[in-house]
Chain A
């Protein structure tokens, strides 16, 4: 027997996006739809307690939420006429074949991640509308005040209605760029949870789980999109070793120090299969290549026995599809393992001129590591101090401080 309260909580986590997206279609207005979906969840707790949990909670919730929308529209037809409506695709098109109808959740995620919205607004809307997080929870996760986050969400919603951002899946011509924006948002949600810029705690761990849920959703809805497969592969593989990133005392561990026996083998196997799919058929995208790199790390018996030459080769491929100095820096770290720290330090010196890396703490941290391995402790110490001055995350600061002390 499922407890009704658990069933409601479960339906909130699993079905929020489905119920809201289906309700938005009827309401044509995000705020009205959200309000009615919230009401439906409240009603569910009461009705399910009395009558038992329905066989299809999502369908039950959608029916109730849509009915509330209709009631609200009838009650205030004059008020509603003033509300700007979400733009819907024209309805006089011939009805598409059932299997060609895109899931409403897909329309919603493309609306949330529309390029006319600022990246931070895309992230906030995605967490609000797809994951059902409250504004307060999103504010906590991104370390801003609740009023700031509320204003950000409100502004973004106003732009969606005011500027006429459509509620639809983009056509083939726009799809690659638009999908990249969606995947970037999901990846950003994961890395926010993964690296925890300053804070720690539960909300952060939840973000990584939410990001994986989102990646699974996008992959399930667009199974032929290889970059969606690539992102899911990447997140699953990164997450497989999440537990080993810190020791019992919460101290950050390097890949070389992590206990590989604690890695989640089932997740690694899933990730590997996804990587194969993502790499198949033409030039791979940036998420697929990053996933391939993560897979090489995940399957290596030890840090030293990692196939470093192939890792460097994959970073070379990655650099052709994604010109980022951060990629170049990661490549140098791999190069130091494949061909030694001296060669890597020479390339790092060239890279250091890139202004985009001026405040990037991994640059001096990498230099410090190379100098330490080359037996140049004084220069290494200076580089560790430089890295410390740019680092805010307590676990990373602690790591750098420890390294500095061993010189």
Chain B
């Protein structure tokens, strides 16, 4: 079994202007997602939603600046950590992951032996 990070990149403006109904729909999609993960032979190890990028602070060396590491239209807004037997399973889980205002990136977690 390997671990994979599912990074959710979405357009933050879409959430900034979203109605309560949209939030409700997204929340329900995520809770459905967490239920579906085991059905695909994977295990959910964790995951969080993040505050939007205006709340981010970037530090390079000693310099502290306001804002995210890289300014992009679609920003990292949350992640899940899963355990899966292979990339195909991780991709299947990634396809299920809600991201209606963007997409997800699947990254294998490095293993040190």
A residues touching B (Cβ–Cβ < 8 Å)?
A: 81-82, 84, 87, 90, 114, 116, 162-166, 168, 170, 174
Contacts and interface: CB of A to CB of B under 8 A. Distances in A.
B113 A163 contact: no
B13 interface: no
5 contacts: A87-B87, A116-B91, A164-B90, A166-B86, A166-B88
Contacts of B4: 164
A174 B86 CA distance: 15
Contact of B86 (A81, A82, A164): A164
Nearest to B110: A162
B110 to A, nearest CB: 8
Interface residues of B, number: 12
Question: Among the interface residues A116, A162, A163, A174, which one has the most CB atoms of the partner chain B within 10 A?
Answer: A163
Nearest to B2: A164
Contacts of A168: 88
B74 to A, nearest CB: 20
Contacts of B46: none
Given A82-B113, A116-B91, A87 B108 contact: no
Given A87-B2, A87-B86, A166-B87, 17 more contacts: A81-B113, A87-B85, A116-B87, A116-B91, A163-B87, A163-B108, A164-B2, A164-B4, A164-B84, A164-B85, A164-B87, A164-B108, A165-B87, A165-B88, A166-B86, A170-B88, A174-B88
Nearest to A162: B108
Contacts of B111: 84
A159 to B, nearest CB: 9
Contacts of B91: 116
B101 to A, nearest CB: 23
A24 to B, nearest CB: 15
